[in-house]
Amino acid sequence: MKPLKNDSYLRALSRQPTDYTPVWMMRQAGRYLPEYKATRAQAGDFMSLCKNAELACEVTLQPLRRFPLDAAILFSDILTIPDAMGLGLYFETGEGPKFERPIASMADVQKIGIPDPEGELGYVMNAVRTIRRELQGEVPLIGFSGSPWTLATYMVEGGSSKAFTKIKKMMYADPQALHLLLDKLADSVTSYLNAQVAAGAQSLMIFDTWGGVLTPRDYNDFSLQYMAKIVDGLTRENEGRRVPVTLFTKNGGQWLEAIAATGCDAVGLDWTINIADAKRRIGDKVALQGNMDPSMLYAPIPRIEQEVATILEGFGEGPGHVFNLGHGIHLDVDPEHAGAFIESVHRLSRPYHAK
């Protein structure tokens, strides 16, 4: 494997000095880019795109051709694991993901097994290997998974949800069934992410999109402890380098200390927390990733630059900041605004790294 030409993202995650604040965007490969729409049309449907290593590689690389991003992220979906468990994933136009056979009981949980990452999920590893080869050492490749709690919400609800009534019913009425499901998911995510590292992923991210819908005690019992179990089981060194792991709980600002205590290298921040507060609370333990509101990319470019400047000032001097949006980029954002965002992070952050 070629040595990395730009390792600023990995260095920032290890809280080592960099020349500027590295930046990438959640969902940077996606629907806001016309070239992505063309490739998606060529694939036929979303999962066909995920399962074709060459096309998944193409859409992973598309944003890097447009923008000087400091990392690539594997193009895939968080629901690959539940799909591989036999729940029958499909996508309804305008409604998002759905499952033909959702989990409704302890018997359903007992039936599912741990997917083989090089078997049922081999298409993801093929994509990782292809992307890593085609990147040619330009920037690091991020592998990822959904958190056990977030995956379980889709599996029990049967798709997206606003109130999470089915999974909360299971949580309170049949907690043993949910704990068994989460335990199986934690084992599945661990083997899945370790296989991504073996295939070439150089950093890992766990997306806990729905952890923020829980009470503080339930967050610890049903989400955080399972992410901590995964962190404990991950390959943390490969190819002579540390493989950093970032945990991101949307609406998780009140639990930053507990997230940082899992042993992760970085904590992802959404836009509902001030980054200066986050740094004061946990910035001497972990790196921070974030945290501009994705909707800010609708603003005129001078306003975007102003927001970038505010967040950089909030973090202040020193290493340990990976700039990102607080969640995924919206599908109707003008790519020019995304480009201006990335350029302004690089330009405006240099004075904070001058020492």
179 marked among binding-site residues:
no
The tokens describing 205, both together, are: 């991210």
* From 20, 154, 192, 226, active-site residue: 154
Active site (annotated) includes residue 303: no
Write the CB contacts of 302 (distance below 8 Å, at least 6 apart in sequence).
none
* From 20, 27, 70, 132, active-site residue: 27
Instruction: Yes or no: say if 328 and 294 are a contact pair by the CB < 8 Å rule.
Output: yes
Active site (annotated) includes residue 15: no
| Exposure class string for 74-101: b at 16+ Cβ within 10 A, else e | bbbbbbbbbbbbebebeeeeeeebbbeb
What's the CA gap between 167 and 309, in Å, rounded? Answer: 41
281 marked among binding-site residues:
no
Instruction: Yes or no: say if 328 and 271 are a contact pair by the CB < 8 Å rule.
Output: no
Angle at CA 274, nearest 5°, toward 273 and 277?
Answer: 105
* From 7, 9, 20, 77, active-site residue: 77
Question: Which H or E run contains 92?
Answer: strand 89-92
What's the CA gap between 117 and 138, in Å, rounded? Answer: 26
154 marked among binding-site residues:
yes
Cis peptide before 194 (omega within 30 of 0): no
**Residue of 153, 167, 166, 161 lying closest to 82 (CA atoms):** 153
User: How far is the CA of 28 from the CAs of 52, 204, 266, 310, 352, in angstroms?
Assistant: 19, 16, 19, 22, 25
Active site (annotated) includes residue 40: yes
* From 40, 129, 236, 242, active-site residue: 40
30 marked among binding-site residues:
yes
284 marked among binding-site residues:
no
28 marked among binding-site residues:
yes
228 marked among binding-site residues:
no
277 marked among binding-site residues:
no
29 marked among binding-site residues:
yes
What's the CA gap between 303 and 301, in Å, rounded? Answer: 5
Binding residues for substrate: 27-31, 77, 154, 209, 327
Hey, which residues are catalytic here?
Answer: 27, 31, 40, 77, 154
Binding residues: 27-31, 77, 154, 209, 327
